[in-house]
Structure 1
Amino acid sequence: MTTPHTSSYIVTGMTCDHCVASVTEEIQEISGVTDVQVDLASGALTVTSSQPVDDEAVRAAVDEAGYRLA
């Protein structure tokens, strides 16, 4: 059994639940991602994956959703 990897980030620019859904959808497209948690109030993004996720892949996915990593 593999140990899950968890990475945390801060996303800026989100203002509503639609923003959260957009970020979540883009992050879920990254290979190996098994869970995405986004907190609108704090901007916290927690990515759980079966393998280490490249920070640049996360940044690109957040950018694609229209937001930025802090």
Structure 2
Amino acid sequence: MMDNEELVTAIKWHRENLEIKAKDVAAMLGHVSSKYSKIENGEQVITGVELVKIAEFFGMTVDEIVKIPDRKK
């Protein structure tokens, strides 16, 4: 099972890979940028609802978003 730090590391990796700005994710969630920053920095635990919304926003499933692709492929 993933801990919060591993989870938000994967989300941040995908966000940056998709070239999506953190402020855009924050706006989609209805958060101010500083609250979303706290989530990505592991200072606040991400909720299940937030995780699902972020996955949908990225065009991914929850299973896809929680994994950082293996670069050896």
TM-score (structure 1 length as normaliser): 0.37
More strand by share: 1
TM-score (structure 2 length as normaliser): 0.36
More helix by share: 2
Structure having greater relative contact order (Cα 8 Å, sep ≥ 6): 1
